[in-house]
């Protein structure tokens, strides 16, 4: 039996990009691996490495948990929990900082990008964030970590930290493997298809929030930027807008891009966008309905309580053992 683990940060509204690139993928992975164990947590400790609004942070933390269940995550087969509710994450995060080199952290792209942007008052936790992420993974002896491309470097650093610790003391941490989606799992901005669809975007027409009004969603699809060629075909270099819409269509309809292109061979962009608008509204409508059921059912708290309990039990044992191996405290 393998253990699959991932985390998602509760920053910003959830978008169609998050759904296609992370949530739906995780649920499908769970369905395709019926024998395996799934750990999924809301990385609220990671979120506060940059300033967060108190009320929004709490709301989003719940929202994400509810959205995963709405998307089909099986709560019976998932240890679903909130990172900050399992104290050992912060504890192991500190311990692993003692086995992480400054140079390694300085090489992290995400950190370098922030520095390049010239943002002021960056926190020290933002710098040490990868050591906490390593702790999140190593504390549960995860075998596989499904993440987006941008997180691959952090999983690789996790492997290095685990290997360093194992070489210094003994074989203690399982060295995890990242699972990176195949190309195309990158949904682009509807108004500017050269950049990733993101909730932090200033132009709300560029992204679809999962809790957007369905009529607004349809409008956003219909007003997505395309080109003047007028042929529905998959050519990301010359027709990035249409290519992005085709990717969305393909994932949501579970049809291949080639089949969709054939369907629209003699039709124009207006027909294509109208049908896609209906499809996206239908799928997100179903998701919202389930999301509301989850919120109203009042089961979310018991799922998160159970997750916290299971995760805490596993994490406590691992961290106690880790401290003992290092020589901390009195226990041998």
Catalytic residue list: 114, 196, 199
Which residue in 98, 111, 162 sits closest to 136, CA to CA? 162
H or E element in which residue 6 lies = strand 3-8
Query: Partners of 40 in the beta sheet?
Result: 6, 80
CB of 163 to ligand AMP, least distance (A): 24
Taking the alpha carbons at both ends of the chain, their separation in whole angstroms is: 30
3-state secondary structure 193-206: CCCECCCCCCCCCC
Q: Is 222 in the site for ligand AMP (CB under 6 A)?
A: no
Smaller CB separation from ligand TRP, 5 or 224 = 5
Alpha helices (runs of H) in the chain, residue ranges in sequence order: 16-18, 24-32, 44-47, 54-70, 88-97, 102-106, 109-116, 124-138, 152-168, 214-222, 240-253, 257-263, 269-297, 300-326
Within residues 140-179, the interface with ligand AMP by CB under 6 A covers 147-148
**186 vs 106, 183, 207, 226, CA distance in Å?**
26, 7, 13, 17
Report the alpha-carbon distance of residue 17 to residue 188 in Å, rounded: 8
Q: Which stretch binds ligand AMP (CB under 6 A): 12-20, 27-35, 131-139, 216-224?
A: 12-20
Query: Is 300 within 8 Å of 69 (Cβ atoms)?
Result: yes
Report the alpha-carbon distance of residue 214 to residue 16 in Å, rounded: 13
CB of 110 to ligand TRP, least distance (A): 8
Report the alpha-carbon distance of residue 9 to residue 102 in Å, rounded: 24
CB of 46 to ligand TRP, least distance (A): 5
How many residues lie near ligand AMP (CB under 6 A)?
14
Q: Which among ligand TRP, ligand AMP, none contacts residue 25 (Cβ within 5 to 8 A by kind)?
A: none
Q: Which among ligand TRP, ligand AMP, none contacts residue 7 (Cβ within 5 to 8 A by kind)?
A: ligand TRP
Give the x/- contact pattern for ligand AMP in 195-214, rule: CB under 6 A. Answer: -xx-----------------
Q: Given the rule CB under 6 A, which residues bind ligand TRP?
A: 5-9, 43, 46, 133, 136-137, 145, 147, 151
Q: Which among ligand TRP, ligand AMP, none contacts residue 137 (Cβ within 5 to 8 A by kind)?
A: ligand TRP
Q: Is 319 in the site for ligand AMP (CB under 6 A)?
A: no
Q: Which stretch binds ligand AMP (CB under 6 A): 16-24, 27-35, 137-145, 265-273?
A: 16-24
The residue to which tokens 């370098």 are assigned: 112
Burial 291-328 (b: 16+ CB within 10 A, else e): beebbeeeebeebbebbbebbeebbeebbeebeeeeee
Tokens, residue 72: 């089909």
CB of 142 to ligand TRP, least distance (A): 8
Smaller CB separation from ligand AMP, 197 or 322 = 197
Chain residue at closest Cβ approach to ligand TRP: 7
Smaller CB separation from ligand TRP, 145 or 280 = 145
From 21, 75, 130, 241, residue interacting with ligand AMP (rule: CB under 6 A): 21
Q: Which among ligand AMP, ligand TRP, none contacts residue 93 (Cβ within 5 to 8 A by kind)?
A: none
Q: Is 18 in the site for ligand AMP (CB under 6 A)?
A: yes
Q: Is the dihedral of CA 140, 144, 148, 152 positive or negative?
A: positive
Report the alpha-carbon distance of residue 223 to residue 217 in Å, rounded: 10
Q: Which among ligand TRP, ligand AMP, none contacts residue 247 (Cβ within 5 to 8 A by kind)?
A: none
List contacts with ligand AMP (CB under 6 A).
8-9, 17-18, 20-22, 147-148, 185-187, 196-197
């Amino acid at each position: 039996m393998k253990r699959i683990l991932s985390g998602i940060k509760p920053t910003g509204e959830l978008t169609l990009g998050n759904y296609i690139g992370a949530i739906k993928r995780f649920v499908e992975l769970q369905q395709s691996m019926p024998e395996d164990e799934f750990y999924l947590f809301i990385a609220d400790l990671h979120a506060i490495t940059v300033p967060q609004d108190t009320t929004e942070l709490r709301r989003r933390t719940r929202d994400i948990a509810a959205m995963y269940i709405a998307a089909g995550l099986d709560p019976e087969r998932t240890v679903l929990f909130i990172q900050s509710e399992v104290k050992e994450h912060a504890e192991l995060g500190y311990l692993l900082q003692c086995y992480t080199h400054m140079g390694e952290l300085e090489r992290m792209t995400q950190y370098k990008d922030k520095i390049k942007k010239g943002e002021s008052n960056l926190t020290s936790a933002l710098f040490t964030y990868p050591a906490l992420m390593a702790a999140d993974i190593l504390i549960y002896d995860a075998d596989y970590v499904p993440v987006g491309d941008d997180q691959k470097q952090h999983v690789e650093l996790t492997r290095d930290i685990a290997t360093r610790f194992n070489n210094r003391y003994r074989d203690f941490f399982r060295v995890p493997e990242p699972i990176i989606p195949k190309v195309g799992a990158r949904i682009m901005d509807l108004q500017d298809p050269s950049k990733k669809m993101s909730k932090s975007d200033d132009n709300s027409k560029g992204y679809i929030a999962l809790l957007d009004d369905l009529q607004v969603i349809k409008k956003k699809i219909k007003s997505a930027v395309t080109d003047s060629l007028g042929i529905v075909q998959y050519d990301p270099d010359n027709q990035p807008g249409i290519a992005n819409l085709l990717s969305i269509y393909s994932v949501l309809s579970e049809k291949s891009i080639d089949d969709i292109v054939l369907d629209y061979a003699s039709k124009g962009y207006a027909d294509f966008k109208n049908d896609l608008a209906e499809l996206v509204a239908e799928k997100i409508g179903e998701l919202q309905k389930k999301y509301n059921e989850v919120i109203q059912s009042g089961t979310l708290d018991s799922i998160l309580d159970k997750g916290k309990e299971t995760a805490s039990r596993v994490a406590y044992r691992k961290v106690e053992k880790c401290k003992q191996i290092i020589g901390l405290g009195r226990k041998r």
